[in-house]
Amino acid sequence: MKSQQLASVLRRKRFRSRLARRPVVWWRYKAGGLTNADAFLVSYPRSGTTWMRFLLYEALTGEDAGFGAMRRAVPSINKHRNAAHVLHGSGRLIQSHETFSDGDRRIVYVVRDPRSVVISEYKWQRRLGIEPGSFDRFVKDFVRGRSNPWGAWDRHATFWLDGQPARHNHLHVVKFEDLRLDTERTLAEVLRFLGTDPDPQMVHRVVTNNSVKRMREKEDQARDKGWRASARSDIRFVDSGSVGGWSETLTDAQAATIERRFGPVLERLGYLSARSGAP
């Protein structure tokens, strides 16, 4: 038991470490030969990134999106060298969680209420086998920007909301809550921002094929075919995608801690009034 606990602690420290991270991130951006036609899909972890990747993958390629196939058209930053050119002008669409910008290019930034993010991230880390300790302790690490190597939620959001792409009207912000409320409209707006003219029937088909239910079915199918991205198969990668469900999970003290720490950015994004349950 002690050896398992030690292994978990070491995994947690390795995962959260920011030692020499900046040069590694810089290299990942430079190694793939980025061009001005390339665009980025950026988010803080557990903000709906995977869902948006599936939607955009299918909309831009016409192929059924599946786990393990994303690198062909919407890859992560360190796997983008040979990604398909799916955007106008032979551009690529690349996913990243980093707060790094190498110039002025189109950025789709997906943001989610941090009171929901903290719950989803805690489950995600447990799924990875990191075992982040008690949830109450995790909330404290989360607001201090110590729960992962990407820092605090508010600093991440502010970096992109005030960055060079935003100043040049090259930033398109997508609130996860809007994506859940009206997926077709929100997806169509993203596609137009990326330079395509989305067909309403195509958008409807893509959204239908990537509902939460279908995403979970795809996760099960991928697992049956050998796809494995976790140490805990009993915890799903595709969560419920709830909006406002945090009010049933967080204690008043935990919610207040997050609201106090992230208040200005919560207010800026219109989240401070979101105190009701899921619609």
Enter the tokens of residue 271.
């989240």
In the predicted model, residues of the chain with pLDDT beneath 50 are 1, 6-7, 227, 231-232, 234-235, 274-279
pLDDT score of 31: 78
Distance, CA of 250 to CA of 215 (rounded, Å): 26
Per-residue three-class SS string for 94-136: EEECCCCCCCCCEEEEEECCHHHHHHHHHHHHHHCCCCCCCHH
pTM of the model: 0.86
pLDDT score of 234: 47
Distance, CA of 129 to CA of 264 (rounded, Å): 33
Enter the tokens of residue 219.
């996760």
Q: Which helix (H) or strand (E) holds 41?
A: strand 39-43
pLDDT score of 192: 98
Distance, CA of 17 to CA of 34 (rounded, Å): 27
pLDDT score of 239: 61
Q: What is the mean pLDDT of the chain?
A: 85
pLDDT score of 214: 86
What structural domains does the chain harbor?
2-268 (3.40.50.300)
Going from the C-alpha of 189 to that of each of 31, 141, 146, 202, the distances in angstroms are 30, 35, 34, 14
pLDDT score of 264: 96
Residues contacting residue 178 through CB under 8 Å, at least 6 positions apart: 186
Enter the tokens of residue 187.
């997806």
pLDDT score of 242: 62
pLDDT score of 68: 75
